[in-house]
Structure 1
Amino acid sequence: MNATKMEFYKTPNAMEPLFPDGEIRLLEKLAIELIEKSNKLEGTMNPFTRKAVSDFLRPMNSYYSNLIEGHDTHPIDIAKALKNDYSSDKIKRDLQLEALAHIQLHKALTEEITSSESELIPTTSDFLKRLHFRFYEHLPEEFKLVKSIENIEKHVIPGEYRNDEVKVGRHIAPYSGSIELFMERFETFYNPKNIENSSKIKRIISIAASHHRLAWIHPFLDGNGRVVRLYSDACFLYEKLDAVGLWSISRGLARRNTDYKAKLANADLRRYNDYDGRGNLSNKMLLEFCVFFLETSIDQVNYMYEVLDKEHMLSRINGFVDLMVVRKKLRPEARYILEDLFLKGKITKTDVERITNLSEKTAKIITDSLEQLELVRKTKEGIHVTFHVNYPVNLSPFFFPGIYPSSAEAEMMRLL
């Protein structure tokens, strides 16, 4: 394909409207519902257990965001990468490195944005360039090579806007020489600090709208999908809508991948007629994408609320211990330790002996077994030993069923 014969958008007004025009009561209703349900989810557990679950979900977020791009890294391989255990197969190893880069970046973003001293604003060019740089700097070299429109191999420069033209499906991205102009407009319009964005409801709708518009600009030569989803994660963090890491938009988008990509493509379209907004692009399709995005977000919050329901979780803990007792990997009293850890987040060595009504020696046998299964993390300060709740990826089907696709979960259960 000859890029010189293609017509490109060169001025930022080409991506109008940046926010849905007209009747948006449904979007406002969805934004309010997301706020309420996210707050409810955050309040379901103590902060120690909440952090453990959040850490457990981070690899899942990476898994689904990469899966959307066609990179299927098995959760077990991701868990191994977290322990620096890499496959001898180069393709698998490269996918492990990609997953690890995403996990580490997401963890860093969470810590930075939620810091009381943070001045990060996700909508800025500096933030987005830095996001791209930090993701790509740890990727294998093969993942930094892409083919241009002219089918020429190009090298992705981490953190730099593209200098080449891009066509994604039917969509021809804006002219590379105008990317800075488009991003300046993007930053100005969506900046949550602007007086025009003082309404939290509007900012939440803007997370959905800007998700599409950033993908539409396609500012980087490659990696835009992952960057856009990390950007949305950052926006949810900024607005304190992530329930402290207890849900992921990427899981929802991946599970509806066909719809997700179709809605993105539809929102690329130019307006149909004079009744379809006043901008260059379709207002109707942008509104539909925003509804889809917010409904998917709410669906994921609902899912996690059900999974983390206290009675359901305690029932699964008991079922898991029963299975491990049959397999002679745990004693029945382990259930009391796991129940207390879920409810409290951490317990002392003395607590373990008390709730199991066992001797110090026998209680240690159980906690050692739980450590081996990575269901507890032990810390020691002087003579005091504390056990912290922990949930390893390989046990996710037992404690958080449905987090991963059934085929992946079946493999994890088979290997236990």
Structure 2
Amino acid sequence: MNPLDFPEFPFSSPLAKAIIDLERVRADLGEGTTAPEVFTQLRTLFQLLSSIMSARIEGNRTSIVDAVAGVQLADRADIKRDDGVQEIIQLQEATAFVDSAVGRGTILTHGFVRELHRISVAGLEREGDRTPGAYRLADVTISGSSHRPPSPGSVHGDMTALLDFINADVDQNYELLKIALAHHRFVWIHPFGNGNGRVGRLMTYAAMRRQGFSDTAGYRALNPTAVFGENRALYYERLEDADSLEPESLIRWSTYVLEGLLTDLRRLAKLGDKDFVTEGLLVPAIARGLASSRFTADEALALTIIARKVDVKAADLSSAFTGSAATRSQDIRKLLDRGVIEPIAEGKRSYRLRLAPSELTPLLVRELDQLGFLPRILRDSE
């Protein structure tokens, strides 16, 4: 059997059930009632969390608070950053590169893969690579694994076969199965000296984008890293099991991935519900900020008004910031300077919440954890 052929599986198998259930959820996903600009902000939040997750899978223990602060100051060249924070910043940059370069039907190339690697690892001390953006020229081993990746002379050919597999059109029912198989195959090839896990997860996200999964509202915040971050040990166990390339082991791997995507998608589908997002997530996060003295009572009220109205003008905040118009402008300016709110467009005097990266981000993460959205690896206490 060609390792990149689809394994045969019984219609009654857990893998078949996961494929059917994913298609049912996919068919039910509409645009929802959440305002598009709020959904975009939530997607930014989840992308940041995915970058933190991907780094943590590799052993990075940077706290969410430190990661958010680092990303907020990512443009400051005068700041000496901790290597762990810098790793997360670069994963954010790599994700932005995927978003800018890949859409439905985009052909993924060797150059694209190597650029993902260069962005992700260049200049890092602990998790860098001596040749950023280049396939390896030496044999490598995988820590804790008995699998021995192919020789460097095979890497380019193996990657060509993988990219052909990713770029080939398949029946819609098999799109996510193809993505699951491609992720394992990338890690199995291990084309780089270091950074293979991070680049493999970015590649999987890129493959989902080229299949159009970012076109549907509920899918826009979906990132496969959340599946792998739910149980790091199980992720490695399933990868190791699939390294034999036997059909049964590939089916077990694919079932693990698709069942994880289904679980995550069912959670994320709730983000299309405006009332859930506003009253179940944003308002409680703001209240948490008030309780912890992060916000004053007036600031918390102003932020709650913005959360419910989505975008506001200064006059809309008169019940929170009492006094003259000039005083109210000063209060709004303080929130702008702190990065908790932002103009809806440059030069406009209408404002919206800034969910990530901002002071709101750790508060939202706490609420997401309470709501069961947070993969285990993102809990700072674990």
Distance verdict in 2 for CA 1:52–1:89, change over 3 Å:
closer
Structure 2 portions without partners, runs of 5+: none
The answer on 1:94 being equivalent to 2:83 is yes
Query: Where does 1:15-34 land on structure 2 (aligned, <5 Å)?
Result: 16-23=3-10, 26-34=14-22
- Unmatched tracts of structure 1, length 5 or more: 1-12, 146-154, 270-280, 412-416
Q: Could you tell me which residue of structure 1 aligns to residue 211 of structure 2? A: 239
Which SS does the other structure have where 2:29 is aligned?
Answer: helix
- The 3-state SS of whatever aligns with 1:20 is coil
Contact kept in structure 1, 2:114 and 2:133, CA below 8 Å: yes
2:146 matched to which residue of 1? 170
Q: 5 Å matches for 1:129-208?
A: 129-137=114-122, 139-144=123-128, 155=130, 157-168=131-142, 169-193=145-169, 197=170, 199-208=171-180
Paired residues for 1:10-409 under 5 Å: 16-23=3-10, 26-37=14-25, 40=29, 43-84=32-73, 93-114=82-103, 120-122=106-108, 124-137=109-122, 139-144=123-128, 155=130, 157-168=131-142, 169-193=145-169, 197=170, 199-242=171-214, 243=218, 245-269=220-244, 281-306=245-270, 309-312=273-276, 313-322=278-287, 327=293, 329-331=296-298, 333-334=301-302, 336-341=304-309, 344=310, 346-353=311-318, 360=325, 363-364=328-329, 367-368=332-333, 370-371=335-336, 374-378=339-343, 384-391=348-355, 392=358, 393-397=361-365, 399-401=367-369
Contact 2:110 2:160 in 1 (8 A): yes
- Alpha-carbon deviation of 1:220? 1.2
* Separation (CA, whole Å) in 2 of partners of 1:68 and 1:401: 18
Let me know the Cα RMSD of the aligned residues.
3.4
Offset at residue 233 of structure 1 (A) = 0.7
Normalised to the residue count of structure 2, the TM-score between the two structures is: 0.81
Deviations 1:275-306 (A, max 9, x none): xxxxxx31001011101101111111222334
The amino acid that maps onto 1:175 is: S
CA contact (8 A) 2:34 2:271 kept: no
CA distance in 2, matches of 1:338, 1:189: 46
SS of the equivalent of 2:168 reads: coil
How many residue pairs are counted as aligned between the two chains? Answer: 362
**C-alpha deviation, 1:408, in angstroms:** 7.0
Percent of matched pairs sharing the same residue: 21
- Secondary structure of the 1:236 match is helix
CA contact (8 A) 2:4 2:162 kept: no
3-state SS of paired residue (1:16): coil
Q: Between 236-245 and 74-83, report the one with greater CA deviation.
A: 236-245
Question: 1:398 Cα deviation (Å)?
Answer: 5.0
Aligned CA distance change for structure 1 residues 362 and 309 (closer, same or farther; 3 Å): farther
The CA deviation string for residues 72-128 of structure 1, in whole angstroms up to 9 with x for no partner, is 221112112123379x998x71111111000011012112223xxx87323x32322
Shift of 1:366: 5.6
When Rg is computed on C-alpha atoms for both structures, the one with the higher figure is: 1
**Separation in 2 of the partners of 1:239 and 1:142?**
34
Judge conservation of contact 1:133–1:159 (CA < 8 Å) in 2: yes
Judge conservation of contact 1:171–1:268 (CA < 8 Å) in 2. yes
Secondary structure, aligned partner of 1:172: coil
Write the deviation string for residues 211-248 of structure 1: whole angstroms up to 9, x where unpaired: 11111111111111011100111111122224464233
Counterpart secondary structure, 2:72: coil
**Equivalents in 2 of 1:323, 1:67: separation in Å?**
26
